[in-house]
Structure 1
Amino acid sequence: MLLPVLAGVRRACRSLPRVAGPAVLALCACSPTFNWRELRPEGTPLLALMPCKPESAVRPVPLGGAPTELHMHSCDTGGLTFAVAWADVGEQARVPEALARWRVATLASMRVDPALAGAPQTQWSAPVPGAERAQGLVAGGTGHDGRAVQARALYFARGAQVYQAAVYGPALPDAVVSIFFDGLRLP
């Protein structure tokens, strides 16, 4: 199902002018740095594109006010971290609170005032086909290593399952970020 997206990426890469600078070419999705592949996390209908082979982990987190099993898939390439995570919060009524708490936790992890979770400057939107709700977050802060970090994350849900797709790095190239978020589907 994601083959049309990948085909579009390849066409875009081939259509770059030969005079394009090395930085533009290095960011191109068809570079070996970004080896896009389909991810289908077990236990969910989610389809995602990851630019590298993700590692997986499961851990309990207090999402939505109750201990919840969080499934994570992430990888690092090109100086960026790409992550897809999901959890089942049990009831649709718990989804709004879980998504709101997740956004706040993301900001807190970047040493950004969690009160900015609803501020206009942290908002962006991207559709996720099949999602019943989706809300984006864009922020700049400090990573666990003390270095400046930019983040773009999308929080979405269908039924009682909540999701986060995020990219973190010192700078977020629009072309790569677009491919990552455009690859999300809940068929």
Structure 2
Amino acid sequence: MSVPVPGATPRWSLLALCALSLLGACNPTFNWRELRPEGSPLQALMPCKPESATRPVPLDGRAPVELHMHSCDTGGLTFAVAWAELGEASRVSGALTGWRRASLAAVRLDPARGDDPTLRWNAVVPGAAQAQGLTAQGSDHQGRGVQVRAVHFARGTQVFQAAVYGPRMSDEVTATFFEGLKLP
């Protein structure tokens, strides 16, 4: 018969503690994985398993196009990647402008500021013919402060958006997300 020693931890408690530590190590907040949206050449890194949806959206104010979206929430942030095939090169510029404006409206800012140079950051997406970064501070539907950092880019007749939304953003996390974008 064993006698408990005051202050000593039973073996099973130590084993349980070790098992919990290992489980925590296997489930980090940002569990980066590659995303290759079907029908698109885009490669992206997502920090969590994304959900997918498709819906018709008039990106350039003309006939709606099918917008393919992938998003997930982790660490208090929302990460989103979306793309659409426009079918005509003449629609690309208008679609990118419309998308920037919609990104501002999503955080309750004046969409007309979509062309404001003070809201831009130097975004680069390998393989994209054009890319423009957008960063702004607005509010969510409950009036709480929210930041958006996005890049809108295109290649051929396809347009893309990658965005992060949240109250505070880590430069390390956003850099990993945006540097993971490629159009091979």
Listed one character per residue, the Cα deviations across residues 66-122 of structure 1 (whole Å, up to 9, x for unaligned) are 211100000000000000000011111110000000101111121101121111211
SS in 1 for 2:101: helix
Q: Identify the residue that residue 76 of structure 1 maps to in structure 2.
A: 73
What's the CA shift for 1:144?
Answer: 2.5
Give per-residue Cα distances to partners, 1:46-81, cap 9 Å, x unaligned. 000000000000011111122111000000000000
Match in the other structure for 2:174:
177
| RMSD of Structure 2 on Structure 1 (CA) | 1.2
Query: SS where residue 58 of structure 2 aligns?
Result: strand
Q: What is aligned with 2:110?
A: 113
1:159: which partner in 2? Answer: 156
CA distance in 2: counterparts of 1:57 and 1:31, whole angstroms: 25
CA distance in 2, matches of 1:153, 1:160: 20
| Counterpart for residue 132 of structure 2 | 135
- Residue 31 of structure 1 and its aligned partner are, at CA, apart by 7.5
- Distance in 2 (CA, whole Å) between partners of 1:99 and 1:112 is 17
Pick the aligned partner of 2:59 from 57, 60, 63.
63
**Structure 1 residue runs without a partner (length 5+):** 1-29
Q: Distance in 1 between matches of 2:130 and 2:105?
A: 23
Aligned residues: 158
Normalising to structure 1: TM-score of the pair? 0.82
1:5 maps to none
Identity across the alignment (%)? 68
Structure 2 stretches of 5 or more lacking a match? 1-25
**Distance in 1 of aligned mates of 2:44 and 2:75:** 18
Letter of the structure 1 residue corresponding to residue 38 of structure 2 = E
What is the TM-score normalised by the length of structure 2? 0.83
CA distance in 2, matches of 1:109, 1:169: 12
Residue 87 of structure 2 aligns with which residue?
90
Name the SS of the counterpart of 1:166 in structure 2.
strand
Aligned with residue 43 of structure 2, among 37, 42, 47: 47
Counterpart of 1:147? 144
